[in-house]
Amino acid sequence: EESRRAALIVRGCLESMLATISDNERLLGDIDSVAGDGDHGRGMVRGLRAAYEAAQDPSLGAGSTLRAAGASWADNGGGSSGALWGALLQTVGYVLGDETAPSAHVVASALREGAATVCELGGAQVGDKTLLDSLIPFVEMLNLCVAADASLAYAWRCAADAATDAADRTRDLVCRIGRARPLGEKSVGTPDPGAVSLALCARATAEVLEA
Ligand code: ADP
Ligand code: MG
Ligand code: MG
């Protein structure tokens, strides 16, 4: 059944994200320790593990799976990133729903809505040196490619590449929000940990969608 297939893909994406973030746990912690508190790698692994475990109920469709995963990430991840990623997954799941196999257009809108939730909840703007600095370019490229009738896999790959470039460019920014703000100037020369981990997750997901 198509809605089950979508849930399987969602679980595969979370598994791939967990593997990539686990491989980069140390790097993310090191980046966060330059101007933050050094716990970003640990928090992302903890949150993603909880999300992945909550996504195992085979009776749930894709949207409900994402909502359960997001709720568990928010409860267990800790830190600003846990709350924001939890809200992102919950909104994406809410917009996707369980009824039918979601089209690329629905997926792109769901990510756009998810990014709006992150903006609202965190109160950050593009340029403040947060995960929004890779999430917004990701969502824009995804929607642009889907509007041009690209497949979801191809659109997601282009969006993940855009997020990767954008995350790297955050090294030039001064942090204006979150735990790193008091040491904002010190963060110049180092990319934002949340922007880097978001780009890693986007690429991990692209691999699953292309398979
Ligand atoms: P904490 O800062 O609470 O220790 P993490 O280290 O897990 O949490 O995550 C830090 C990342 O969270 C930052 O690098 C940034 O990308 C993101 N972040 C923090 N505050 C905000 C916010 N208000 N809006 C968007 N992203 C934020
Ligand atoms: Mg931190
Ligand atoms: Mg912390």
Domains in the chain, ordered, with CATH? Answer: 2-210 (1.25.40.340)
pLDDT at residue 192 is higher than 80: yes
The mean pLDDT value for 170-181 works out to 84
Position 77 pLDDT exceeds 90: no
Place of tokens 């929607």: 143
Q: How confident is the model at residue 183 (pLDDT cuts 50, 70, 90)?
A: confident
Sign of CA dihedral 114, 23, 162, 153: negative
Residues around ligand 3, an ion, CB closer than 5 A: 37, 39, 79
Yes or no: say if 17 and 201 are a contact pair by the CB < 8 Å rule: yes
At position 118, the amino acid (one-letter code) is V
Ligand 1: which residue has its CA nearest to atom 11?
Answer: 194
Please report, for the chain, how many H helices and E strands are present, in that order: 9, 0
CA of 192 from ligand 1 middle (Å) equals 9
Q: Is the CB of 131 under 6 A from ligand 1?
A: yes
Looking at residues 57-72, what average pLDDT do you find? 96
Q: How far apart are CA 124 and CA 133, in angstroms?
A: 10
Ligand that comes closest to the CA of residue 194:
1
Tell me which of 42, 81, 139, 196 to substitute to probe ligand 1's pocket, judged by most ligand atoms within 8 Å of the beta carbon: 81
Residue 46's region, left for phi above 0, alpha for psi from -120 to 50, else beta, is alpha
Phi, psi of 32 (to 5 degrees): -70, -25
Tens digits of residue pLDDT in 97-135: 997 789 999 999 999 999 999 999 999 999 999 999 999
Which pLDDT score, from 0 to 100, does residue 180 have?
65
Band of residue 85 on the pLDDT scale cut at 50, 70, 90 = very high
SS3 assignment, position 52: helix
pTM of the model: 0.96
Say if the ipTM goes beyond 0.85.
yes
pLDDT at 99: 75
Closest approach atom of ligand 1 to CA 39: 6
Cβ–Cβ < 8 Å for 95, 110: yes
Ligand index nearest the alpha carbon of residue 42: 1
Note the pLDDT of residue 178.
Answer: 75
Residue 194 Cβ < 6 Å to ligand 1: yes
Residue 15: per-residue pLDDT:
98
Ligand 1 contacts CB of residue 197 (under 6 A): no
∠ CA 133-134-138, rounded to 5°: 125
Task: Quote the Cα angle for 138-142-146, to 5°.
Answer: 175
